Amino acid sequence: MSAVTTEDTESSWVRAPGEELVPGYLAWSRLGGGTHCETWLAWSAAHWCPVTVKLPRPAEISDADTRSDLALEARQLNRIAHPGVQRLVAENLEEAVPHLVLEYVEGPTLASLLDTGPLSATDTVLVGLQVASTLRHLHGLRLVHLDVKPGNVIIREGRAVLIDFGITTAVGTAFPADDAPGTPGFMASELFEGREIDARTDTFALGATLQRCLGPAAEVETGLADALRRMSARDADQRPDDDMVLRLLAGRLPAQHPGLWPAWAAPHDQTG
């Protein structure tokens, strides 16, 4: 496998469509990447379907921290079973190029949809409810995603799927104030202040994501504006818990909308 190194010292794999990316998986196209790893759309002959392969950048193959991070991500994904999460297909961490094989979630990212314009209030609420459902499950496992943002939400056949669990961390973790993980604009104050994180850290990021969905010039009805203001509060103690987030958002659906769950299934009514 050949590689190219860019001026900022990051390196990327270079493979033509149909060439082997890693054993058993043929490269299709590069999807993107971060500082240490990148992701590819690949073809699996064994599964006879497209998959996503996450692997270290060439310069990171031997880096112990990068390998450890991939192993941690695999362990986290093995704990999560939810329709709103990108599923782990295989983990091949002992290969010459360690890698994870993930479900290929087909559809545009929320970020790419927003490039064409803001969402309606109803569509924003529906995205919020679907991501909040996934986060509620994740938080029940005592995990915090830590990178909820439009680029990590894929809209598959009208449903939001959360991806990229590379920095998912246990509730109660604290980071050095000057080295907190996440994406600026979606990071809660506790990350910058070296305080412990919990579910409310993701609530802040979801609130910021939904604000981004509406656009800066949107005239938002009072109830939805209040819900997003509470979710995005600087003080974590002022943010709602997961059930309240679901309740607040469900209450902002139009009266004629059937909602996403039957009334008898909800721990709270849907009209708050």
pLDDT digits (tens, 9 = 90+) for 43-92: 999 999 999 999 999 999 999 999 999 999 999 999 998 999 999 999 99
Q: What is the average pLDDT value for the chain, to the nearest integer?
A: 91
Which parts of the chain fold into alpha helices (H)? 64-79, 110-114, 121-140, 189-192, 199-214, 222-231, 242-250
Q: Considering just the CA atoms, what is the radius of gyration of the chain in Å?
A: 19
Domains and CATH numbers, the chain: 2-103 (3.30.200.20), 110-259 (1.10.510.10)
pLDDT value for 7:
35
pLDDT value for 267:
54
Average pLDDT over residues 161-185: 93
204, 172 contact by CB (below 8 A): no
* DSSP per residue, 24-79: TEEEEEEEEE-SSEEEEEEEETTTTEEEEEEEE-GGGTT-HHHHHHHHHHHHHHHH
Average pLDDT over residues 229-236: 97
